[in-house]
Amino acid sequence: MEYPLTTGQVAVPWAPARQLRELVISSLHHDLWSSSLTVTLGRSRSIDMPPLEQGRVYFHGVLLCRTLAEQDIGEVHDAAQEPIQIITPSRLLAWWHQESRGKHLDEAIRHYRIIAGGQWVDLLTAREPELHLLPVAG
């Protein structure tokens, strides 16, 4: 099946996130004052308990952020894909450049996509994300 909003786009895994498979988004914090987004990822424990926090991904200099519930957009990815991806070429980035009248055309802006636990987060930033893993008790 072809999805018009994803045709021609390629999802490239963000290499540092390869160790985050099977995690769910347990929280998102979009700080509008500092233009940052913190994504907390955790491992599901049970249906009546919040996920056990495993790590955080920090995005700074966020220019655009949108969140969608997976059921609202359909199954456009398979479970084998990485939880954090770089989308190229990006229709979202092309749209954003049009809407911002090319204000940031001279910046190397990337489109990142986070897919975890039924949540889909797209964001645009010119800065590389930071991954901070928590020690696993064992």
- What confidence tens digit (pLDDT) does each residue in 26-69 have? 888 999 999 999 988 888 888 888 888 888 999 999 999 998 87
pTM: predicted TM-score of the whole model, two decimal places: 0.80
**Which long-range contacts (C-beta less than 8 Å, at least 24 apart) are formed by 76-80?**
76/3, 76/6, 77/11, 77/115
pLDDT over threshold 50, residue 2? no
Task: Give me the mean pLDDT over the 69-77 stretch.
Answer: 57
Mean pLDDT of 101-119: 87
Predicted pLDDT of residue 61 = 95
Percent of the chain past pLDDT 70, that is, above it, reads 83
Cβ-Cβ contacts under 8 Å for 130 (sequence gap 6 or more): 57, 58, 60
Mean pLDDT of 70-87: 64
- Torsion over CA: 41, 55, 93, 5 (sign): negative
Confidence of residue 125 (pLDDT cuts 50, 70, 90): very high
Provide the 8-state DSSP code for 81: S
